[in-house]
Amino acid sequence: MKTPVAHLLRNNDPLCDTAIQEVKELLKIPLGELDEIDKQILDLQAQVKSLEERRDEIQKCVDKYHLLLSPIRRLPDDALHEIFYHCLSTHRNPIISSSEAPVLLTHVCRKWRAIALSSPRLWSQLHITFSDAYRANLRPRDLEGASEAEVKELRARARVVLHNRCTIVETWLRRSGSCPLSISVYYLGCHGRALEDIEAAVNDPDDLTNQLFRTLSLFSDRCGTLELLMPANIYCKYEPLMSAPPSAFRLLTTLRLNLYHTHIATPNNEPFPTPVPSALLSAPQVHKLTLTWWHALIRSSIDTLSSYLLSSFSEALILFKACVNMVHKSNINGQVSLPHLLSFSILEGPVNLDTSRQFYSSIDAPRLKYIKYTSENPALHNLDPDAPPPIVSLLQGASELTKLAITPRMFVPTALRKLLGTANQNLKHLVIGEEPFNKLTRRRYDPRSYFRAFDLKSRPCNPIILPRLEVFEWSPGLVPDEAVLQFITERMDPPPPSGVTSLKRVRIMFTRGQEIDILEEVNQYRDEKMRSEGVQLTDKGPNQLSSSYGLNGRNQTWGYADTY
């Protein structure tokens, strides 16, 4: 805009009164235009806001009707049945809870509820949490030191909750139609249950534990997978009730048993007998078995076995001999043939080395693909460097071995090198220590000496260890970075004449010393600051009446790492 005073913009000279008046006159028109434009902007903004509000209202209406066009509404019922089935937990049986399938699916809409309730497969799996906290002469575990009023309140609540649970269990399993069942039971026993009380409860039709086992007996002929974690005294008294039907457990193929002892009073203060689950172990089709104890009733049909109790080598050989699908008939002290065995996992406790050698040399398992060997045997510390570790004889016969997991803390480096040198040279996967996904413990050995076993620059008298290695896992705790770097770089790009396969994957679990005691810091903060601010932190244990009580940190009902 060219004006008579435009030249004044090129300097900072003060304006005279005449010039000031001219500038004011000059600004009247543009200022008026700005006011007009601002009014138009406000009007337009109001229109935009009104349009946005109207749009939102229309969009809500459209969204409602768009739901009618959703593809899932047009899915046939059989497709929804299949989708619903894949919503079930795969790592355990579903719990009785509205937070997960199948109960969750019944809360979405009327159609989904009808489909879910009419799908027998959805209700063929169930995890049951139970206890005897309802009984008047018992004291629940989580109310030690509580007042009688609190204990009485829990008993009354437990009776209502567990009575309803018995009803739900029967309704749930009836919905399964004729499908094979997978049932897991976690039974929490209270302190002080006398033997005569248990015997009286078995004959009491109103006893809640009695009701539970009677309900399970109604469906025992369709049970394909059964998992029981309960006090041994409870199981022993109720097994006849659960296995009463003539066709009980005729379809049972997979069995997991953890029958533990609780402190109970017998008439003569004698220890309660070790449970013998004869009805379950005698089921004709059981071939996958997990036990926390050993018993001679283990039959020949077993082809997959996990045992979590220390057993002698003699007992182990007897066990192998009993399973014809795993072992051919032979004398206990002779060769034990396992032609079908693919994986072998063992935790070796303190034992005589000669006995250990005899045990491993007695096993002939040529098709082994995976061996996991963990030893707590202090005798290995004093092993003659020129003498091979006892398990070497098993490795020598495993010509198809592809994965080996071994804990080195009991071996001197030379013994470990000898052991690895004996393994199948086509072995591709090696785990030193615990696999990184498992819970780790502190290792008391220097990992550098073990890494030297894999040095590609070995002298001619020391052949290269595991030249076909592709996957390496290590969980030693503290390991020098330079040792790891040298190992990885050498195995990633081995020199051409070596004939060594390039390393494809490395997993190393580093553990460091704890610098801060977290628990102490939290407690100190709570004591010094939180209460002074009027905040009270209350620590409560899990509710033993909850349907999810007993689930471990991995949200599983079974706390052991089975082989299947």
Residue 347 belongs to domain with CATH number: 3.80.10
Q: What is the reported pLDDT for 360?
A: 84
Of 146 and 505, the one with more pLDDT: 505
Residue 543, in any domain of the structure: no
Q: For 399-411, how does the pLDDT look when each residue is reduced to its tens digit (9 = 90+)?
A: 889 898 887 766 7
Instruction: For residues 515 and 91, give the distance between their C-alpha atoms in angstroms, rounded to a whole number.
Output: 35
Q: For 357-389, how does the pLDDT look when each residue is reduced to its tens digit (9 = 90+)?
A: 888 888 888 888 888 888 776 656 566 666 778
Of 279 and 332, the one with more pLDDT: 279
Nearest partner of 478 among 509, 450, 451, judged by Cα: 509
Residues 281 and 150 in one domain: yes
Residue 559, in any domain of the structure: no
Residues 363 and 464 in one domain: yes
Give the pair of three-digit tokens for residue 345: 């996992």
Instruction: For residues 435 and 156, give the distance between their C-alpha atoms in angstroms, rounded to a whole number.
Output: 46
Q: What is the reported pLDDT for 74?
A: 86
Residues 200 and 291 in one domain: no
Instruction: For residues 291 and 302, give the distance between their C-alpha atoms in angstroms, rounded to a whole number.
Output: 12
Residues 199 and 129 in one domain: yes
Mean residue pLDDT across the chain: 75
Residues 107 and 171 in one domain: no
Residues 6+ apart with CB under 8 A from 341: 326, 365, 367, 368
Percent of the chain, pLDDT > 90?
20
For the chain, the farthest-separated pair of C-alpha atoms sits apart, in whole angstroms, at: 127
> Which residue stretches of 387-461 are H helix?
392-397, 413-422, 447-451
Which range of 119-133, 234-248, 320-334, 534-548 scores highest in mean pLDDT? It is 119-133
Of 17 and 49, the one with more pLDDT: 49
Instruction: For residues 535 and 253, give the distance between their C-alpha atoms in angstroms, rounded to a whole number.
Output: 54
Residue 542, in any domain of the structure: no
Residues 382 and 485 in one domain: yes
At which of 496, 513, 530 does a domain end?
513
Residue 518, in any domain of the structure: no
Q: Taking 50 as the threshold, does the pLDDT of residue 436 lie above it?
A: no
Residue 522, in any domain of the structure: no
Instruction: For residues 143 and 154, give the distance between their C-alpha atoms in angstroms, rounded to a whole number.
Output: 9
Q: What is the reported pLDDT for 178?
A: 93
The domain containing residue 329 runs over which residues?
287-336
Residue 551, in any domain of the structure: no
Residue 528, in any domain of the structure: no
Q: Taking 90 as the threshold, does the pLDDT of residue 223 lie above it?
A: yes
Residues 128 and 117 in one domain: no
Residues 192 and 253 in one domain: yes
Q: What is the reported pLDDT for 440?
A: 38
pLDDT tier at 530, thresholds 50, 70, 90: very low
Q: How many distinct structural domains can be found in the chain? A: 5
Percent of the chain, pLDDT > 70?
65
pLDDT tier at 189, thresholds 50, 70, 90: confident
